């Protein structure tokens, strides 16, 4: 009986360690009103959800709740030029891609495409 308990614990520890390395990543593209295009990626791990896009002049990034299973989520975004805003993203059925809008504090807007949808978007 003791041997079975030890084996169960070893299995649990092994599975936990393997899961700590789990992450989901994918592409993200932001299309600005002025024709500006920023490209980057999102990353979800057991600890956090992050995203970052850049055109080498401007970089915008933020965090999100990677455990939120809602189809529509909101997240804060901050850019290297001092602007900040809110991203409202609607995920597709498998929750691994979709589209959204970026509303910045200066009134500018942009369109976000991420995940499988971004992978299929031509430059």
- Over range 28-35, report the average pLDDT: 94
Residue 1 has pLDDT above 60, yes or no: no
The C-alpha angle 63, 64, 65, rounded to 5 degrees, equals: 140
Which CATH entry fits the domain spanning 23-119: 2.40.128, 3.30.60, 3.90.1530, 1.25.40? 2.40.128
Show me where the domains of the chain are located.
23-119
pTM: 0.78
37-46 long-range contacts, Cβ below 8 Å, gap at least 24? 37/123, 42/114, 42/115, 46/19, 46/20, 46/22
pLDDT digits 0-9 by tens, 52-91: 999 999 999 999 998 888 889 999 999 999 999 999 999 8
């Amino acid at each position: 009986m003791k041997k079975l308990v030890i084996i169960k614990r070893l299995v649990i520890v092994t599975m936990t360690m393997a899961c700590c390395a789990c992450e989901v990543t994918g592409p993200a593209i932001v299309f600005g009103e002025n024709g500006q295009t920023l490209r980057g990626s999102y990353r979800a791990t057991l600890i956090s959800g992050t995203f970052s896009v850049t055109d080498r002049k401007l970089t915008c990034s933020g965090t999100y709740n990677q455990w939120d299973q809602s189809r529509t989520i909101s997240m804060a975004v901050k850019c290297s030029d001092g602007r900040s805003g809110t991203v409202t993203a609607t995920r597709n059925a498998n929750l691994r891609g979709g589209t959204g809008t970026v509303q910045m504090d200066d009134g500018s807007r942009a369109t976000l495409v991420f995940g499988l949808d971004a992978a299929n978007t031509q430059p």
